[in-house]
Chains A and B, each alone.
Chain A
Amino acid sequence: MKELTRKEEQILLAIQHLRCDAYLITIREQIHKFTGTYFSVGTIFAPLSRLEMNGFVTSYYQKERRFASKKPIKFYRLTEKGVRALEDLRKLNALMWRGICLAVEE
């Protein structure tokens, strides 16, 4: 399976954090909270669409929750596949981090 990119990983984590409140703007805010940078809408939306296309996330609409201008809000949540991918990633990271000492060797 293709590995997730860093940005995709961040997006998936942000969605999982936000639970049922995950849409483009909140995801962007959340990533800002983690990393301290605001990414442009495009830099979030493109990987997000890709994730959706590849079945890591799925989108849904809620009738009662809309923008002020009555435009629909597209919410995202992780699919099983997405959850598994994150799980795999964490395991992989844990494996790779084990026994590592972060000091520069002279």
Chain B
Amino acid sequence: MKTALRLLRHLLPPEDEAFLEGCYEEMYDRAASEKGRPFANRWIWSQVLRSIPGFVRHWLSWKAAMLRTHLVVTRRHILRHKGFFLIKIFGLAAGIGCAVVIILYVTNELTYDAFHLGSERIFRIATRRISPSGDDRFATSPGPMLPAIRRDSPQVEASARIIAPYENAGHVLAVQGEKRFFEKRVWFVDPELFDVLRIPVLEGSPRSALVEPQSVIITKSTARKYFGSIPAVGQSLRLELDYDTGASVIEDFQVRGVVRDAPANTHWKYDILVSMSTLSARRPDLDTDWREYHTKYTYLKLAPAADRAALEKQLAGYAESVKSQATNIQLLEFYLQPIRSIHLGSNINEEMEAPGSRYYIYVYSFVALLILLIGVMNYVNLSASLSATRTREVGVRKVAGSRRRDLVFQFLSESGLITLLAFLLSLIFASFLLRSFNAMAGTSIALSEIWRPEIWPAFVLLFLAVILAAGGYPAMILSSFKPASMLRGEIASGRRGSAVQRLLVVGQFAISIFLVVCTLVVFRQLGFMKGRSLGFDREQKLVLEIKSDQARFRQGYEAIKTGFLQNSGIKAAAVSSLVPGVKSGSGYYLRRGESYSGPEKPFRLKVITVDQDFLSLYGIGLAAGRAFQRESTGDGDSAFIVNETGARELGFSSPDEALGARFTAHYNRRTKSIVGVTKDFHFLGMKESAEPLILDIEPSLLRYLTLSLAPGRIRETMAFVEKKWGEQFPGVPFEYFFLDESFDRVYRYEEQMGKLLGIVAGLGISVAFLGLFGLVAFTSRLRRKEIAIRKVVGAPTSQIVFLMSRRFVRLIILAAVLAVPSAWLAANKWLQDFAYRIKPGIPVFAFALAAAFLIALAAVLVQGIKADRDNPADVLRHE
């Protein structure tokens, strides 16, 4: 009853509040005494409920009326100060746009795999193995794991495997009529996968579609790509798949279902799902071979009340039995990874996609916050400066009876309107920004994701925060003006007001200096990396990747090379397993001596398999010994070449010492001797230090053909290459790239980051300039009379400008003191990731500080001269 009355009090007209409340109390008491307390309670609550609609209507109509007049005033104000308004709104839009993009990004990262039904019960089985070659974790698990779990674990609700095609994973040739593409995301899957993960099916029955061999389910966009508007179900698609049987085969597959495209926030992305029976028909050992676990992923969904510990014990049992059969495995462990923690929490071998990182979430959020802060500061500063022009308006309002909170409401609704406009504008901005952001962060976020309802609270929060942050301070100072002094035309020169503005200017300049330093460091580091010798020659090199029918290429590459060399425009040709700019994980385990055995830890070197022409084509220099020789045909069977780092890794103190040493590779159990040591070369750019490398003439891993072109006549040569490709690889799409261009992508991330930082820094500086400009305008207006009197007394222009600038120099110095150490720390933290890095030296900081000072000086000078130009007679006329 008390609450009801308290509520009623808010609903009652204020002038008769006490009386009416008394009435209600009395009526309540009467009702209680006549008909009992429960009835009275019911009655009073019904009174409350019934009065709400009227109250709301009343309140809204008055608020709306006020809002309308506020909007009219806002419009007039905007039209009077168009330039300032545009700056304000663009600053806000830029900040909000960045924030929107980052909200989308962060939501995307944090909701990875959350959309699967019961995602907290879904796990992936990963493998940990300690053997003489090291302690390794893999995202994969053996093929027989699945039947074993299904047999032994009743608490597993559903389980399924996802298996990547073996060697041609990432580039499966798909053919439909004239359409031929390499498909990146092709997987073999068990039909039960649809019970484990959430894969919305558009056509076909998920359970039956993937039972038969040679059947596939494709995503909607894949269906559109190959079949256009024809219904895909029932059509056939030719796929070239590799079953790890030595050669890939191209066969027909029936499309038996269409699913929705994989969302951006899943670690397993797919375009074509091939039935597991296709694979198991060719690999009967799939369900029995416990030792082979590469490219095989096992997922399972526990029953709601399942005992996870029991399952883990069972997994340990499997691991024990596998370990007992194998020699030299010291530890084998199968463990469960919750599916939601894979993206940000798991970074082990054979991840399906490059995992995300919390570090980047923080970095991006920080940068977005800076931009948002810049935009908001800009708004506050300009509004505060402009507030001087609105004193009369506020004065009149106050005299007419406006309460302070009415004025605050007015200015907040004004900033609400501007924020709303900025929000709309920011969406346009965000759609552009997303493109470069996606390129930089390697994500595929679409702007349409703003419609996801789980993001809305963040947007509402952002919106309110911006309104309050941007509009709060101007509303406070504007509403605090004293009407009497305002109407006399005086400007409230409260020290508080300009203190906040000074603080803002310090903040803006600190952020600007920070950003300029970061930008300069990024670009200097880029220039430094690009300027260093990579140790190989990448000019005029055309690279063809053999993605299809590699077996034929590996056997007959000499003949193919000869075919290409017929044209005089092609100077040289070489084949290799790797070209510059491509990441690869292949490596050799090596042991000293004639056989691969022994108790000691084997050496582990990354391998590039090559032919005899590789070193000369890439112009890689030798530190000792000789290159592979074509004449001594024995090289293929008897010679290794290592790089300097590789020689050190193998335990030799100088390159010469390594010559003649004999090693046996685990890969093919061949024993070869080192005939040469190359100088170090950087196939992945200068971000990382040179890895220990071994070069071997071994056809089994070859997949690139590099052609060195003669300068000039590139067009004719290209026509020839295309024609020759058609002869050599009929039916395979002609895809090529020039090494110098593709290699630049090694630094793509740094370049994008540099550009982004550059834009942000430019934005920050211009906003800082505007902010200071506004502040100086504000203070010079306050000191108009002082300046006029000084002029009358005979102060020269220089003295007046000096007078104006003295205070602001202090602000900039304060900003520099704040910015320099933090920028130094941030730059050093970023540079840690680079093997070869610059030191963020004095020139970088000097430049940033000089830029800040110049810009500040410009703002102060312009205003100082303007103040000096005023005719003292006009200013002092009214005294």
Question: Which of A's residues lie within 8 Å of B, judged by CB?
Answer: 23-25, 40-42, 45, 49, 66-69, 71-74
Contacts and interface: CB of A to CB of B under 8 A. Distances in A.
B19 A41 contact: no
Contact of A24 (B20, B30, B51, B54): B20
Contacts of B19: 24, 71-74
Size range of the chain B interface in the assembly? 10 to 19
B22 interface: yes
Given A68-B29, A74-B16, A41 B24 contact: yes
B27 interface: yes
Contacts of A74: 16, 19
A42 B54 CA distance: 10
A40 B26 contact: no
Nearest to A74: B19
A74 B19 CA distance: 6
Contact of B22 (A40, A42, A72): A72
B800 to A, nearest CB: 62
Which of B25, B26, B29: most chain A Cβ within 10 A? B26
Contacts, number: 44
A23 B16 CA distance: 13
Contacts of A45: 16, 20
Contacts of B151: none
A40 B50 contact: yes
Interface string B49-81: 011001000000000000000000000000000
A25 B19 CA distance: 11
A67 B20 contact: no
B47 interface: yes
A67 B30 CA distance: 12
B1 interface: no
B718 interface: no
B25 A25 contact: no
A54 B183 CA distance: 84
Interface in B28-60: 29-30, 47, 50-51, 54
Interface of B: 13, 16, 18-27, 29-30, 47, 50-51, 54
A104 to B, nearest CB: 39
22 contacts: A24-B19, A24-B20, A24-B23, A25-B23, A25-B26, A40-B47, A41-B20, A41-B23, A41-B24, A41-B47, A42-B50, A45-B16, A45-B20, A66-B22, A67-B25, A67-B26, A69-B25, A71-B19, A71-B22, A71-B25, A72-B18, A74-B19
Nearest to A75: B19
Contact of A71 (B21, B27, B51): B21
Contacts of B29: 68
Given A67-B22, A73-B22, 14 more contacts: A23-B23, A24-B19, A24-B20, A24-B23, A40-B47, A41-B23, A42-B50, A42-B51, A49-B13, A69-B25, A71-B21, A71-B22, A72-B22, A73-B19
Nearest to B16: A74
Most buried by A among B19, B21, B25, B27: B19
Of residues A40, A42, A66, A67, which shows the largest number of chain B Cβ atoms within 10 Å of its Cβ?
A67
A73 to B, nearest CB: 6
A43 to B, nearest CB: 11
A31 to B, nearest CB: 14
Nearest to B50: A40
Contacts of A69: 22, 25
A63 B22 CA distance: 15
A49 B26 CA distance: 20
Contacts of B23: 23-25, 41, 67
A104 B322 CA distance: 108
Contacts of A67: 22-23, 25-26
A102 to B, nearest CB: 37
Nearest to A61: B19
Contacts of B24: 41
Contacts of B47: 40-41
A45 B21 CA distance: 13
A71 B28 CA distance: 15
A66 B18 CA distance: 11
B8 to A, nearest CB: 10
A49 B13 CA distance: 11
A69 B29 CA distance: 11
Contacts of A66: 22
A51 to B, nearest CB: 14
A46 to B, nearest CB: 9
A52 B16 CA distance: 13
A68 B25 contact: yes
A53 to B, nearest CB: 11
B184 to A, nearest CB: 70
List the 8 closest pairs (A to B, CB-CB), nearest first.
A71-B22, A67-B22, A74-B19, A24-B23, A71-B18, A69-B25, A25-B23, A67-B26
B638 to A, nearest CB: 105
B755 to A, nearest CB: 65
Contacts of A41: 20, 23-24, 27, 47
A77 to B, nearest CB: 15
A72 B30 CA distance: 18
A87 B47 CA distance: 35
Nearest to B25: A69
Contacts of A40: 47, 50
Contacts of A72: 18-19, 22
Contacts of B25: 67-69, 71
Contacts of B27: 25, 41
A74 B13 CA distance: 14
Nearest to B13: A49
Nearest to B19: A74
A49 B22 CA distance: 17
Nearest to B46: A40
Question: Which one of B16, B23, B26 has the greatest number of beta carbons of chain A within 10 Å?
Answer: B23
Contacts of B13: 49
A40 to B, nearest CB: 7
A12 B833 CA distance: 89
A37 to B, nearest CB: 16
